[in-house]
Structure 1
C-alpha cells in the first residue's frame, strides 16, 4: 500500500548513481517511482530489481524503470538528475511530456542548472543541493557510501507549502531535507567544495584523504576556494571565506576513501561536469573581471585528460 503523500507519482530523470539512490529510498518506503535512465541500467533493474548497497548489505528494491523520457508523463514530482552538460537538451526533450502542475527538483551540481531547465518547462523548477556519496558499480546497482540529504528552496511564497510537502515525502523515506531561504548560497558552497576536490581527485585518480594529506595539495585547494569566494562575491553571493575553508578541511576526514564524481567519469572514459565546476568559475570570473588562474588551470588539465582518454 502506497503511503499518504502529496505526490502520487515520482519520476527520476537521468537515473545514475544519485538519482537511483534517492529513487530507491523513496520506492523502498512505498512510494511510486520510475527511474528513467540508460538502457543497460533499465534492463538490469527490470530483470533483477535495483540492487541497493548500503551499510554493508545489499537490498533488492522493486522499482519501475524506463529508458524513454516519455515515462515522465503523469509524474507530479520529477527529480532531475542529468549531468550538467545535458541539462539543456534533456529539459527540452522532457518539456512536452511534463504535466503543467508538476514540480521539478534539480538535483545537480553547479549553480545554473535550475534556471536552464526553467527556460524550457512550463512548471515550477526548484534548485536543490545534494549531499551524498554514491557510485554505480554495475548496471542495476547503486552503492551508498555516505550522507544522503538535500537542501531545497525557492524565493516564491506560493511554492513554500509544496516544498514542505517534498520535505515530508523524503522524510518518510529516511532522507533529511532542509527547506532553506538561502538555497543559492548553499549551491555556491557546494560548488566551492566541488571545485576544491573534484579536479584534483580526477587528475591524480586519488581519494580525498590522500589529497588532503599533502600540504602542497592543501595549498592548491585553498587557492581554489579563495578564487571561488572572490567570484561569488562579484556575482552577489556573500560567501564567508573562513567558513568555506573550514568546510573544505572537514570534507576529506569525513570521506577519506571517496573519489570525486569527476574522477569516476574520467576513469570510465565518460565526459565530466568540469565545464560547470572549475570551468564555470573561470568563465564567470572572466565575465566579472576576477582572476581565477588556479581554477582555469585545473579545468584545462581535466579537459586534457578527458581528450587523452577519448583518443585512447
Structure 2
C-alpha cells in the first residue's frame, strides 16, 4: 500500500514540464513530432548529430512524411552528452540492445518522481527497471510503422496498436494521464491495459516474423502470404507463446495477431487465419519491409536480434523449453550481418527445410 501511495502521490506533478524523447529515430521521432505539433514541450536527444541539428534548425526541422501525416516541427534537440536538466517524463526509443547504456546516460536527468516509458521492441522494461528502478519504469507496446529516412526526415507509414500500462497492472493517475496524452495527440485508439506484459510477449512473437522477413527480398505482406512458410511461422510463434505461458503471462492479440492460434495443440487453420489477418493488416502499409530488413540491407548495421527476440531463448531454457526455430533464425540473421549470406527469399526456404 505504501508503494502504491508513493506512486500515486508522485504523479501529482508528473505531467508538468517538457517530455524528454531519448532516441529521435523512427518511433521516438514520430511520437515526439506529434506531441510538438499538439503544443507540448518536447526535448529530443539522439546520437546522430546531423539529425539533432536538423530538428532544432528553424529552416529544416523534423519532417514527418507519408500517407498518414505530412508536417514539420522544430524543437530543442541535443546529443546525449549535451542534455541538461531534469525530466519527469522520459520516452525511451533507442534500439533494444542500446537500452542499458541509454538508461545509465539518461539517469541523471530523470526526476526522482519521474518515469521512463519504453517505446521499444522486446522486454526492455526489465532492463530499464534494473537501472532506473521499477517504480520509475512504465511499459508500452507500439506497432505503428515508421522509417528514419535521413537527418530530419521520418516516414510515418501506417497506424498500429499503441498500448500503455504499469508493470504491475495498477491503474495509477500517471498511466491514466499518459494514455490520455497519447490518445489525444497521436493514436486515437490508444489502449490502457492492466496486462502490458501480455502485449509485449505477443509482439515478441510477431517480431520473430519480422526478423524472418528481414532475411528475404519480399515485403512483410508478401512474405506472410507464402503458404509454404506456415510451418516455420507456427514454429517461431509457438516457441514464444510456450515460453510466455511458462512465465505466467497471458499473451494478448493485436492487429490480426491472435496468440492462442500458436498455443500448443492449436490447429493449423487457426494459425492460417491469424497470418491471413496479419497479411491484410500489413498489405496497405506504406512501410513494406521491416526495420530489420532496413538494418541489414539499407543501413548495413547489426540488428538487435540477440537483445530482442533472443531473450526468449534463455528464459525458455530456464523452464526446460527448447527454442530451435528462434535459435536458427538468429544464427541466419548474424550470417547476413557478417556478409556471409545474401538477401534472398530462398533463405526462408532453407530455414524451413532445416527445421523440418
Residue deviations 1:203-248 (CA, integer Å, cap 9, x gap): 1143112112211223211211111111112222234522784544
Q: Which residue of 1 aligns with 2:225?
A: 213
Alpha-carbon distance in 2 for matches of 1:146, 1:72: 34
Q: Report how many aligned residue pairs link the two structures.
A: 304
**1:249 to 1:157, Cα distance in 2 relative to 1, 3 A:** closer
Q: Could you list the runs of 4 or more consecutive aligned residues of structure 1 that deviate by over 6 angstroms after TM superposition?
A: none
Q: Which residue of 2 aligns with 1:249?
A: 276
Alpha-carbon distance in 2 for matches of 1:166, 1:237: 24
Structure 2: 5+ residue runs without aligned partners?
1-13, 252-258, 264-270, 342-356
Does the 8 A contact of 1:133 with 1:258 survive in 2?
Answer: no
Alpha-carbon distance in 2 for matches of 1:163, 1:69: 29
Does the 8 A contact of 1:25 with 1:175 survive in 2?
Answer: no
Q: Which residue of 2 aligns with 1:307?
A: 338
> Does 1:290 pair with 2:309?
no
Q: Which residue of 1 aligns with 2:9?
A: none
Alpha-carbon distance in 2 for matches of 1:308, 1:81: 27
Give the C-alpha shift of residue 56 in structure 1: 6.3
Highest Rg: 1 or 2? 2
TM norm structure 1: 0.89
**1:57 to 1:159, Cα distance in 2 relative to 1, 3 A:** closer
Q: Which residue of 2 aligns with 1:190?
A: 203
Moved more, 183-192 or 153-162: 153-162
Alpha-carbon distance in 2 for matches of 1:218, 1:115: 31
Q: Which residue of 2 aligns with 1:265?
A: 295
Alpha-carbon distance in 1 for matches of 2:171, 2:82: 26
For 2:55, which of 45, 57, 61 is the aligned residue? 45
Name the Cα RMSD after superposition: 2.3
Give the C-alpha shift of residue 159 in structure 1: 6.4
Does the 8 A contact of 1:193 with 1:248 survive in 2?
Answer: no
Q: Which residue of 2 aligns with 1:19?
A: 28
**1:279 to 1:238, Cα distance in 2 relative to 1, 3 A:** same
Does the 8 A contact of 2:167 with 2:197 survive in 1?
Answer: no
Q: Which residue of 1 aligns with 2:146?
A: 134
**1:91 to 1:155, Cα distance in 2 relative to 1, 3 A:** closer
Moved more, 129-138 or 56-65: 56-65
Does the 8 A contact of 1:211 with 1:218 survive in 2?
Answer: no
Q: Which residue of 2 aligns with 1:204?
A: 216
Specify the SS of the correspondent of 1:77: strand
